[in-house]
Each structure stands twice: as C-alpha cells, then as structure tokens.
Amino acid sequence: MLTAVIALGALALVAAFGLAVAARAFAVETDPRIELVEAALPGANCGACGYPGCSGLAKAIVEGKVEIGACPAGGDGVAEAVSKIMGVSYRGGGERMVAMVLCGGSDQVAGKRFLYNGVRDCSSAALIFGGDKNCRYGCLGLGTCVGICPFGAMIMLPGGLARVDPVKCTGCGKCVDACPKKIIKMVPARRAVHILCSSHDKGAVAKKACAKACIACGKCVKTAPQGAIKIEDFLAVVNYDVEIPEETAGECPMNTIVVRKEGTSDTGFLDSVAAAGGDAI
C-alpha cells in the first residue's frame, strides 16, 4: 500500500516536473485579446465575415488584418465592445442591413405548374424546370434559407413563402447566398417601402403566373420621388438611397408594394403573420 503511494507519487512528481519544463520551453505566445474579442463576438460561427468561425475573425481583428467592425452579424454593438478591448475608437459603420425576400407569391396567389415530388430543398428543386412554381422567379417555399439562418430570424409562412424577422436578422447574408432563385436581397433596415416581386417576365405573363406580380406599369415610378423607383427589365426596383413615402404602396394596382417598419418587434412580427392569415410581409 505505502509502496504504491510512494511510487505513484514519485511518478507524478517526475511527470509534473516534465510538464512544467515543457510548458516553459515550448510555450506558444498568444495575444490574450484574441480570447476577449472572441467572447465579444456573437459566437454563431455563421461565416458571414469570410472566416470559418468567430475565433478565426477574432484572431484576424487582433492581428489587424481586418477592421474592428468586420462582423456583419454583430453590428454596432459588437463593434463597440471589440473596439474597447482593442483600445481604439469606433466611429460606427454603415447602416444596418437586413435580408428581405422579394416575392409575394404565396401558394394562394401564385399556384404550382406541376407536382414536385423530389428532395425537399430549394436548390434541388430548382434543378427541375426551375422549380414547380407558376412564376419561374418566385420563392419555392421549401425553406433552404430558413434552415440555413444561424439566428432563427427566418420563418416559412403556411403559404410557402419565406420571411425575415427584421429584428432578429443580423444581416449575415447567408440566406442571400443559399437562395437558388436569388430573390433575397439585403436592404437598409430603416427603409419601410419594398417591392415584393422579382419577376422579369413581361406584364401579361407575370400577371398570369401570380396575382401579386409586378407588371411594370410604372405607376409607382411616377408617384414616388424622383429616382426612387425605376423599371429594370419589366420589374420595378427600389433605389434604397431615396426615401419613399408610405402612401406609394397604396398606388400599386397589384398590391406588390408593401410597408415593413424597422421597429417591428419579434413577437409583433409573428403576430402580424397570424393576423394576416399567414400572409405577412
């Protein structure tokens, strides 16, 4: 018994000495700020910054390779926290951007042209005749973007339309890359008026495919301030540099133009979905 205790104790002492020497001899110098910065970052490892995860970005920030506000998901709050750790001042970045699904064609207004029976994933569905939607530009409703959102900011409406909660959205842009129809765009969060259509079909074709399609009639272009909306290839497109009054939405004969306010709270967003019968913006 005693021999065993002494033997093991001696062994432990030798090993401890060895480890202590090794720790000194082979020590890797790391900047203690990396850990602090990493703790300040959101920790979602979303990859929106271009680095594989938050630790990668933290290292890059500390080494001065990228700017303080390089985390698109964190926004100003995170940037300020990081600037305190780094001991530099942060002037505030650009304006807050959020994702927006530019399609209003739910199953109720835009129907299907065939019965899709394949993989339940938008990118796979898009390989087959561009998807089953009547409108070949519209949201396919299989939720690839909802699944990929690291912040739970997206939901799929019952009518097969993806929607972004502007409060939860951090603007990481993962959904923009994931959407095979390329109908998700980053828009300034403070802007309220949006055109929910991405169809470049001519008016008659677009209208036949979807009851809420932009038919490029040009009415909004005339009503809105100069240069705020322009028609590009049979589609009205908002220029977010110019503020558009909310009344413009009422002018649209197809109800394609909608108003989404920045302040809509988390619960308010879901409530508005329920109130509109699953047809919210």
Partner 1 sequence: MKKWRFFGGIHPAYNKDMACSQATVEMPLPRELVVYLSQNLGAPSKPVVKKGDTVKKGQLIGEAGGFVSTPVHAPASGVITALEKRPSPLGDDMTAAVIEPDGLDEWAEGCNVERSCEGLDAGRIKNLIHDGGVVGMGGATFPTHVKLSPPEGKKIDLLIINGAECEPYLTADHRLMLERPADVLEGASLIAKAIGVTEVVVAVEKNKPDAIAAMKESIKGRGGFSVVPMDVIYPQGAEKQLIYALSGRKVPAGGLPMDIGVLVQNVGTAAASFDAVRFNRPLIRRIVTVTGRGVRKPGNVMARIGTRFADLVEFCGGYYEDTGKIINGGPMMGIAQPSLEAALMKGTSGLVLLRGGEVGQYVGDPCIRCGRCLEACPMHLNPSAISIFTERMRFEDAAQFNVMDCIECGCCAYVCPSRRPMVHHMRRAKAEIRGKSKKTG
Nearest approach, Cβ of 117 to partner 1 (angstroms)?
Answer: 6
Nearer to partner 1, 206 or 229 (CB): 206
C-beta of residue 197 within 8 angstroms of C-beta of residue 234: no
Nearer to partner 1, 130 or 203 (CB): 130
From the list 208, 200, 207, 198, the residue with the least C-alpha distance to 138 is 198
Interhelix angle 54-62/75-86, rounded to 10 degrees, is 50
Nearer to partner 1, 38 or 132 (CB): 132
C-beta of residue 34 within 8 angstroms of C-beta of residue 58: yes
Nearest approach, Cβ of 151 to partner 1 (angstroms)?
Answer: 18
Nearest approach, Cβ of 11 to partner 1 (angstroms)?
Answer: 44
Nearest approach, Cβ of 153 to partner 1 (angstroms)?
Answer: 20
Q: What CA–CA distances, in Å, run from 67 to 43, 91, 171, 186, 188? A: 18, 12, 17, 21, 21
Nearest approach, Cβ of 124 to partner 1 (angstroms)?
Answer: 5
- Torsion 35-37-43-44 (CA) sign: negative
Nearer to partner 1, 23 or 115 (CB): 115
Binding mask 231-250 for partner 1 (x = CB under 8 A): --------------------
By residue count, the chain amounts to 281
CA distance 225 to 223: 7
Binding mask 106-135 for partner 1 (x = CB under 8 A): -------xxx-xxxxx-xx--xxxx-x---
Nearer to partner 1, 31 or 177 (CB): 177
Task: Note the Cα 49 to chain centre separation in Å.
Answer: 12
From the list 233, 196, 218, the residue with the least C-alpha distance to 102 is 196
Q: What CA–CA distances, in Å, run from 220 to 231, 246, 251? A: 10, 11, 6
Q: Interface with partner 1 includes 11 (CB under 8 A)? A: no
Nearer to partner 1, 44 or 280 (CB): 44
Other C-beta atoms within 10 Å of 12: how many?
A: 10
Nearest approach, Cβ of 259 to partner 1 (angstroms)?
Answer: 35
Nearer to partner 1, 3 or 117 (CB): 117
Nearest approach, Cβ of 173 to partner 1 (angstroms)?
Answer: 17
Site for partner 1, rule CB under 8 A = 113-115, 117-121, 123-124, 127-130, 132
